[in-house]
Chains A and B, each alone.
Chain A
Amino acid sequence: MRSDGSQSAPLSLKIAAACGLLFLHLPILLIFVYAFTTEEKSFVWPPPGLTTQWFAVTWNRPDVWQALSLSVRVAAISTAIALVLGTLCSAAVSRTKFFGRETISLLVILPIALPGIITGIALRSAFSLADIPFSFWTIVLGHATFCVVVVYNNAVARFRRTSGSMIEASMDLGADGFQTFRHVVLPNIATALLAGGMLAFALSFDEVIVTTFTAGQQQTLPIWMLEELIRPRQRPVTNVVAMVVVLVTLLPILAAYYLTRGGDQIAGSGK
């Protein structure tokens, strides 16, 4: 056996790995085919014919647009809140050692470590105890809570790699704390924050379990899809929406990957 570490893998391993990756990707690709099928009433394969008419039909559906707009607004505001809270928390945890530091990390990770249903029902029962009616803001409240962790993870990884002496140098050269933050700290963590923000956006945009508990009558896009999954009314429209959702979530993930690659921790490796 050569020992330069470049020997090729056994065939069985190659096949097993390839099959595993196919298992992960083929189902998603199938969605793309179904978006063009002419069949309306069932999920029949192979599709009897191909058409693009469903894109036009979906385009003219006000309920899809409303759900999409609600999802985008919720995701944008949750991401903004998560960016502020996550950055503050990561800066505090990585800059200094203090009593209860581990507890803070645990506190941030907990909303995503516990099953979503627990977060959801806990928030819902708290709303009902406090007599808070369901609204746009109750959805945001839930989403921001579990989005903090992705921003936090990305920012902590970046802080770990930036040297604290740069801040001291900046202060020695006469910058005050705010100038140091603006001209030294922020440029250093900007791409990590951008990546974390995009992942938080994707996470919020896609979230359904917590949302079912914290949304009243309003429908985010995932809630709209869930309704269609439980009681299919118009399958072709659902197919098109599913395809668009795949494409829309693809872009932030790719962008986040390119922003943080080469680092010791690449964005998104812990959802």
Chain B
Amino acid sequence: MNNRINRLQHVARAICTILVFQVFGLAAQGIWEGGDPANGQSLFNANCAACHKITDEILVGPGLAGIQDRWPSGDEMLVMWIQSPQEAAETGDKYIKSIVERYVGTYGWMTGQAVSEADISDILAYVTSPPIDGGGDTASSDNCPTIDYNTPEESDSSNAMWFLILLILFTVIALSAAGVKRSLTDVIAEKSGEDLLPDTGYLTRLGGWAWNNLVMVSLIGIFFVLYGVVVGYSALMDIGTYSNYSPEQPIAFNHSIHVCENEIDCKYCHNSAYDSKHAGIPSANVCMNCHKAIKKGKRTGTEEIEKIYAAIGFDATTGTYLDGDGNNGKALPQDSYNGEPIKWNKVHNLPDHVFFSHQQHVNVGGLQCQNCHGDVSTYSVGRIAPVEEINTLIDAYPGIIQLSKPTLTMGWCIECHNKAEIDLASSGYYEEMHDRLMNSERGNEELRRYLEDEKITVRELGGWECSKCHY
């Protein structure tokens, strides 16, 4: 309802503006009129959006909604204020002074913007009458399907449990039925004066039956043994493989929204993948780079984002950080704030005796993240992508190495090391290794052996050796 009224107001204002133009003619055209809202939007996003919103919400600077009604100091002053804030403040303008007092203490001076008067006019056109559809949210959510792997599946184990219960029930019924039958037989025998059946146990009788049906029993036996071997083998092979593992996380973080819809690069958040063995889980201050502005999520509203704020000590209403004593008003996260850190559940667990380095694979090897982690943009929580799924990504991500062993097992690692090629011309380090191969007899021999399959793989340069990963 409100929205509609707002829009009507905008339309009305636009009509008024047009009327004003009509009346006064072009001579009186100021910065408030005649701007191009489309150009204004792109200029706004490029220059202003880091600190200002077009609503009345305070980000770093004040929200710009209603600026046309509250700016008292004339067009020239506004242009000066935008282009060179400190200069404008020196003029002693009262309104500017009030803004300076309110914001500069916390956030520092606004940076002077290199925009012309015409640009400002465009921006104001956008700010005062933003596009009706609200903008921004147009990124098609349809192209970014979110597969929530976190919904608890109906597991096989519960079915098995029912089977077991039924089996026990049937056994009990069968046994009691047999008991009843036997008692009845005994009663009949007693009545007819015959001898009672010898009091044999179930096992003896079962043994007797089995003795009489040896072939049948052998076949059943062989079947069970084979079945046991097959099931046992596959169960054992599953030990230590965690395909599809996607534990619930303390924050309902959605990769799809961030990666697919908002097109954030993996390494923006997992930035240490480039310089460390750990890809790293982003610290809360990295989240805050965006979430200082984005206070409300599309799906979960403020609930999940509030958890980040609680951890780092951010007061969403004032847009400032809290210090250890609970006072807000700080522009940067405070070390003194003693927030409870976010305890994520680790998804990709390697045993302690495995040394894996992201920087070796990402930075030196140039592998794509998808090669090991699958297409994270399609699902919500972090998860171990099954190798079959990763293999299907070859079209979207050419260069992905096709593998067959379960993800994150040693078989998978060394399979890749056997397939992945090294370009010896790629760096000075490998050039030196190449020279050593070229410059000695033994080296030549080795190189010939390497090149039997016409490529040099990681394995051939030692990628299968124990102490490359275990030390």
A pairs with B? no
Chain B residues with a Cβ under 8 A of chain A: none
